[in-house]
């Protein structure tokens, strides 16, 4: 099993450009998440999908959109990138339950110039 995979690993954008970050999991998990990690801030939840067909905003959703394409895939889109969106983006997945572990992908390092 590959676990959680993310593409691309690195990306440099100019302000105003758009892009989609891809995430897929092969663990048959119901829930998927997108986080961003900035120095001194910890991981912050952008959007999550509790189950296939549903998505909800997290702590920092502005400037992002998501699509839960199917049970395996959950994409994050930046419609008009801004320098404030320079960050490391992690996708994660988990089963539904009280104390379930979240499994993270390797991350995408995004720089917006």
Residues that bind another protein (CB under 8 A): 30-31, 33, 35, 40-45, 48, 50-51, 58, 90, 94, 96-102, 104-107
Nearer to another protein, 6 or 85 (CB): 6
Instruction: Pick the closer one to another protein by CB: 17 or 72.
Output: 72
CB nearer another protein, residue 17 or residue 103:
103
Least Cβ distance, residue 96 to another protein (angstroms): 6
In whole angstroms, the minimum distance from the beta carbon of 52 to another protein comes to 12
Nearest residue to 34 (alpha-carbon basis) of 78, 79, 75: 75
Residue 89, class by beta-carbon neighbours within 10 Å (0-12 exposed, 13-18 middle, 19+ buried)?
buried
**Minimum distance from CB of 102 to another protein (Å)?**
6
Residue 110: CA count within 13 A, CB half-sphere: 32
User: What is the nearest approach in angstroms of another protein to the Cβ of residue 14?
Assistant: 24
The structure tokens listed for 87 are 């960050």
């Amino acid at each position: 099993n590959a676990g959680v995979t993310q593409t691309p690993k690195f990306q440099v954008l100019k302000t105003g450009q758009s892009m989609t970050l891809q995430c897929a999991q092969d663990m048959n998990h119901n829930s998927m998440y997108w986080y961003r990690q900035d120095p001194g801030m910890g991981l912050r939840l952008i959007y999550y999908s509790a189950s296939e067909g549903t998505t909800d905003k997290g702590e920092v959703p502005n400037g992002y959109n998501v699509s839960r394409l199917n049970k395996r895939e959950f994409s994050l889109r930046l419609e008009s990138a801004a320098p404030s969106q320079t960050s490391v983006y992690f996708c994660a997945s988990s089963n539904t339950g009280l104390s379930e572990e979240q499994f993270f992908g390797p991350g995408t390092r995004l720089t917006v110039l």
